[in-house]
Amino acid sequence: MQEVLVLLLLLSHPIINEVMANPRGPEATSGDKNEFVEIYNPDSVAASLLNFFISDGDEIDTLTLFPDSSILSLYPGVILDSYEIPPHGYALILDREYMDSSDVSQPYNIPAGTIILTTNDNDIGNGLSNNDPLYLISPSWDTLDTYGTPANPRDSIPINPPDGISVERIDPFSPDIESNWGLSRDTTGSTPGRRNSLTVWHDLGILRVSHDTAISGAQFHLHVWIKNFGIYPTDSFTVSLIDGFSSTQTLFIHLNRGDTTGVELTTPEITEPYINLLVSVHIEHDENPANDTVRLFIPVSLSPVVINEVMYDDTVEWIEIYNNTTSQIQLAGFHVKDASGHVSAPAPQIALNAHEYFVFAADSATFVERFPGVTNFIELDNFPTLNNNYESVVLLDGANNVVDSLRYSSSWGGAHGISLERVSPGVSTNLRENWGSSRASDGATPGRVNSISNFHESKGLMLLSSKVFKRDSGNFVIKLNAEPGEKVLLYVFDIRGRIVRKLVDGEKGIYIVRWDGTDMWGRKVGSGLYIVYCATETRKEKAVIMVR
């Protein structure tokens, strides 16, 4: 608020707020008599223009009352007998011949309450031209305000406006500088006697958004920078996150015009292969909703260690983990938790080499009897009893940070001595299409490559969740083996080569993409064959899929 008060003190006098130097029509007629200069009073007390002057640099005119009362027939509520502009009110300096209808009509819609003034001769200045600056001069001959930065002839103001378009001041509390003027956006071409089309009183918007790396199974933190783009200050606003969940905060923070503030937001644990968030800020009476929202599409990075296989219904329960990196990882302190909060004992010092597997089991003797020959496992005391219908399995490190988490149901696969296997450790943990029942002869593959895995066999650019996409089964998943930082193009074409959907268009760092089976207009595609085409800066690949 202090900043606004200072500006009010600096500009606590009438200002030149709008200039019509190029009225619509021939210069010999409307080009002369339909010129106007609008004066605005930004103060909270009335301001008088008695004995004020207006000048275009060629001629100085005294402001006088408008002499033709017939103007009231067009604008019944305007004021003709006063020089006093009410607080935050307007005065309009018209050509003395404005009501002369012999050759052209009066084009403006002037609201009630506007003070109508004119000059002591037949023109405003020496007749306004597009390159004329203007001076508003007090009775003591002080220049109180200008239009066109007369002291700086090298900038682009005065503006050369098109026919019938006025030049408006953007911020009445900011000085006469190039960035504070623009062409009227009003449908009529001008706003005499009312707020300028470029002036926004209330506008809170998102300036930028920064965020941490998104990791599967962990919360996601982002920082939203919010700016008051409007003229008036605000004392409170709401910030919302909208996705599969909705979170709204009301913040009581005072923001003057031009002020910014940062807000920290946190999502629940990430269970999808990407984050698709709508961040929104809101104040009452916001006049510019275009800057209120930001859509974030962020691929989720997989944990270095992922849950790769789960045996939840057998004589011995266990989970298998996989090192998804090219480096050795120490497992000391790793432990397992279920949905009820039951936590296992921590693992001892174990080195898990790159792209290797390890099993945490509930009972070592039963495990060896069930899977003789498997040695890369250990019993964890107090191992949780896994639910056979649905369960949340959480892998935590020694500092109790979530490393990976899986929320499964029996419909995903497994049960009755058959494990639930992951298709690819490079695709999101909580994607239904990335899991299925083991096809191994003994019902599971503890400590080795999963029987349903095709990740290690794929050396191409794309890994598809299936060759057949059943539209009622969820989203179709495409994993891209693009190099870090490579730009990616990913399109879906129909069998005739027509573009159906542009999934990725030149973004970098895109590795997991989901297609919901809709075209570019959001319509469900029909059954049939489709082509998935991917290209990076170094490779190209296409695959044919069946949509049912």
pLDDT tens profile 201-224 = 999 999 998 877 677 667 788 889
Helices and strands of the chain, counted as H and E runs: 3, 38
284 and 335 together in one domain: no
Q: What is the pLDDT of residue 12?
A: 64
For the segment 398-416, the average pLDDT, to the nearest whole number, is 91
CATH number at residue 500: 2.60.40.4070
Residue 453 domain-assigned?
no
Please give the pLDDT value at position 477. 83
Please tell me whether residues 131 and 265 are part of one structural domain. Answer: no
pLDDT in tens, 129-152: 888 999 999 999 999 999 999 988
345-364 pLDDT, tens digit each: 999 999 999 889 999 999 99
Identify which of 44, 56, 39, 134 has the alpha carbon closest to the alpha carbon of residue 90.
39
Choose the final residue of a domain: 298, 320, 344.
Answer: 298
Judge if 78 and 119 occupy the same domain.
yes
Query: Which CATH number goes with the domain that contains 11?
Result: 2.60.40.1260
| Phi, psi (deg, nearest 5) at residue 543 | -145, 145
Residue type for position 255: L
Question: In this predicted model, which residue has the larger pLDDT, 273 or 398?
Answer: 398
Is residue 454 a part of any domain in this protein?
A: no
Which domain, by its residues, includes 332? 305-437
- Asked whether residue 333 falls in the same domain as residue 288, the answer is no
Cα–Cα dist 412/27, whole Å: 78
> Which pLDDT score, from 0 to 100, does residue 53 have?
97
Q: Can you tell me whether residue 533 is helix, strand or coil?
A: strand
Distance of alpha carbon 27 from alpha carbon 86, whole angstroms:
34
Q: What is the CATH number of the domain that holds 244?
A: 2.60.40.10
Q: What is the mean pLDDT of residues 268-274?
A: 68
pLDDT score of 10 more than 60? no
Asked, for residue 502, whether it belongs to a domain, the answer is: yes
Mean residue pLDDT of the chain comes to: 88
- 290-347 pLDDT per residue, tens: 999 988 777 666 788 999 999 999 999 999 999 988 789 999 999 999 999 999 999 9
Residue range 22-63, pLDDT digits in tens: 998 776 566 678 999 999 999 999 999 999 999 999 999 999
Decide: 239 and 224 in contact? Cβ < 8 Å: yes
Residues 113 and 143 in one domain: yes
Are residues 276 and 229 located together in one domain of the fold? yes
Same-domain check for residues 336 and 401: yes
Asked if the structure places residue 451 within a domain, the reply is no
Global pTM value:
0.55
pLDDT in tens, 366-381: 999 999 999 999 999 9
Is residue 447 situated within a structural domain?
A: no
* Cβ contact 232:201 at 8 Å: yes
Report the pLDDT value the prediction gives residue 217, as an integer from 0 to 100: 65
221-228 and 420-422: which strand pairing?
Answer: unpaired
Residue 189 clears pLDDT 70, i.e. is over it: yes
Range in 12-16, 139-143, 469-473 the model is least confident about? 469-473
Is residue 290 located within the same domain as residue 264?
A: yes
**Enclosing H/E stretch for 131:** none
User: Is residue 54 situated within a structural domain?
Assistant: yes
Residues 171 and 22 in one domain: yes
- The residue from 152, 183, 214 where one domain ends is 183
Q: Give the model's pLDDT for residue 192.
A: 97
How many domains does the structure of the chain reveal?
4
Confidence of residue 119 (pLDDT cuts 50, 70, 90): very high
On the question of pLDDT at 455 being above 60, the answer is: no
At 460, the pLDDT band (50, 70, 90 cuts) reads confident
Q: Which two tokens stand for residue 197?
A: 């089309």
* 309 and 293 together in one domain: no
- Asked if residue 528 belongs to a domain, the reply is yes
Domain assignment present for 279 = yes
Domain closes at, from 402, 421, 437: 437
For residues 292 and 322, membership in a common domain is answered with no
One domain for residues 531 and 497 = yes
**pLDDT(273) > 70:** no
